[in-house]
Chain A
Amino acid sequence: MATANDAATSPTGPETTGPQCAIEVANLHKTFASRKVLDGVSLAVNRGETLAVLGRSGTGKSVLLRVIIGLVRPDIGSVRILGEDIEGLSLDRLGDVRKKMGFLFQHAALYDSLTVGQNVAFPLVHHRTDMSKADRDNRVNELLAEVGLENALNKMPSNISGGMQKRVGLARALALDPWILLLDEPTAGLDPISSGEIDELILKLQSEHQMASIVVTHDLHSAKTIATRLALLDRGRVVIEGTFENLAQSEIGLVKQFLKQS
C-alpha cells in the first residue's frame, strides 16, 4: 500500500507554479455564543502535503475547515490561500479563490434534487461555461470512474449508500481540478473496506494532482495512511503538530491518551 510520504515526494503535478505554501492560517479565534471553538490556531500546509487534523468531537476541527474556505468568518486571525488573504475579499474574488479549492463535507452534502452525474457536473456547469456538453459529460464520466462510480451516473443521491455519497462528494470536489482539498471526516461512518478505499483514493489523488490537503478525521489509522503531518486539536488549540512518529514519541498526556484510545 502506498503511503502519504510516497505521494508527497512525487515531483510532478498539473500545477507546479505559484506559492509553495497553499494554506496558512494564523492565530484563528472563533466564538459561537459564549463557546470558544477556535482559540489561536495557526497552521500551514504546503503544496503536495496532507495535514490530518485530529481531535475529539467538538474541538473545532470542522469549524477550522469552514473558516479556511470562508463559510465562517473568524473573530480574529487570518487565512491565506495560495498567498492571498481571504479576509475582506469581495464575493467575486472569494469565489475565484474557492474555485481553486475542493471541499468534501462530512455528510457529502449532495444536491438531493440532482442525479449523481448532475451533482458532479454542477461546478463545471457554473464555472466552465466554455466547455461543450460532450466535454462536460466526458469529464463527469472520468471523475466518476476515478472514484469507482461510473455506473451511478443517473442515480439519485438518496438511492446510493453513505460511502458512495462520500465518493460522489469527492468527485464533485475534484471537478475543477483544485489546488487545495479540504476533507471533513471522509471515512466517518464507513465500514473498514470503504474507509480503506477512500484512503487509497486520496493517496492516488495526492500523487497525481499534487494538491495541498487538510483532512479532518477521528480515524487515526486513516490519518497515518494519508497524512504527511498530523495536528491534534483540543479546546480550539493545536496541542501538537508533526509526523506520526513525533506524536508517538510525545510525552503530552492528551496525545498519549488519544493514540492509546485510537
Chain B
Amino acid sequence: MEVRSSMSRFGATSLLPSAIVFSIVQEMGPTITGLVVSGRVGAGIGAELASMKVTEQIDAMEASAVNPYRLLAATRILACILMLPLLTIGADACGIFMGWLAQTLVAPISLHQFIDSGFRGATLSNFLPPTFKTAVFGLIIGLIACFQGMRTRGGAEGVGRAATNSVVLASLFVILADVVLVKLILVIFP
C-alpha cells in the first residue's frame, strides 16, 4: 500500500502489479523464506542433534557402526536443499496473492488481471534463478544447523547454545549468500 502511494505520485500505478510480482519473486520471497526456515528449521535441527549429542545417542550410533553424519546430517541437509525452493514457490504465491488483496482493497482489480499485468514481459530467467538460489540457502541452513548440533558440549546449556547459534549464523550466512548470488545471477542472466 505504501509502494502504491509512492508510485501514484509519479503516475505509475499501472506498474504496481509488476513491481509487486517482481519484488516478491526475485527478492522478498526467497530471502524471507530463507530467514524463516533459518529460524524455524535451523533451530529445530540444531537443538535436536545437540540433544542427541549430549545424551550420547550419536555416540551410540557410532558404536553401532552407523555413520551419524550420513544418517542424521546428510539427510537433513538434503531435505533443506530440496524443500527451500518448494517453500519459496509457496511463499511467492502467498505474497502475490496478498499483494493483489492489498491492491484490490484500494483499487479493485480482478486476480486474473493482476497476475496478467504482473507477469507481462517476464521470462523464466526472471523467476527460476531467484527461486533455485534458495537451494543454496537450504545447504547453508542444513550445514550450519547440523554442524552446531553435532559439535555440542555441555548438557542443556549446550543444546540452547546450539539452537541459538544455528539461527543466528544461518540467518547471517543466508543474507550474505543472497548478496553474492544476486550479483552472480545478474552476471549470468543480465
Contact = CB atoms under 8 A, between A and B. Distances in A.
Contacts of B52: 111
Nearest to B58: A109
A95 interface: yes
Contact of B55 (A91, A98, A107, A123): A107
B64 interface: yes
A122 interface: yes
A122 B64 contact: yes
Contact of B56 (A96, A101, A107, A127): A107
Contacts of B56: 105-107, 109
A212 interface: no
A99 interface: yes
Contacts of B60: 103, 105, 109-111, 172
Most chain A CB within 10 A, of B57, B64, B67, is at B64
B74 to A, nearest CB: 14
B144 to A, nearest CB: 22
A112 interface: yes
Contacts, number: 53
Nearest to B51: A112
A217 B50 CA distance: 28
B64 A109 contact: no
Contact of A69 (B55, B57, B63): B63
Nearest to A119: B60
A1 interface: no
Interface string B19-59: 00000000000000000000000000000000010011101
B186 to A, nearest CB: 42
B138 to A, nearest CB: 23
Interface string A98-133: 110101011101111000000000110011000000
B78 interface: no
Contact of A109 (B57, B65, B66, B67): B57
A99 B65 contact: yes
Contact of A71 (B55, B57, B59, B67): B59
B66 A126 contact: yes
B47 to A, nearest CB: 13
Interface string B56-83: 1101111111110000000000000000
A167 B60 CA distance: 15
A2 to B, nearest CB: 28
A106 B59 CA distance: 12
B63 A101 contact: yes
Nearest to B59: A71
A96 B66 CA distance: 10
B55 A112 contact: yes
13 contacts: A69-B63, A91-B67, A95-B65, A95-B66, A96-B65, A98-B62, A101-B63, A105-B59, A109-B57, A111-B52, A123-B65, A126-B64, A126-B66
Minimum-distance CB pairs A-B, first 9: A109-B56, A95-B65, A98-B65, A109-B60, A103-B63, A123-B64, A99-B65, A126-B66, A105-B56
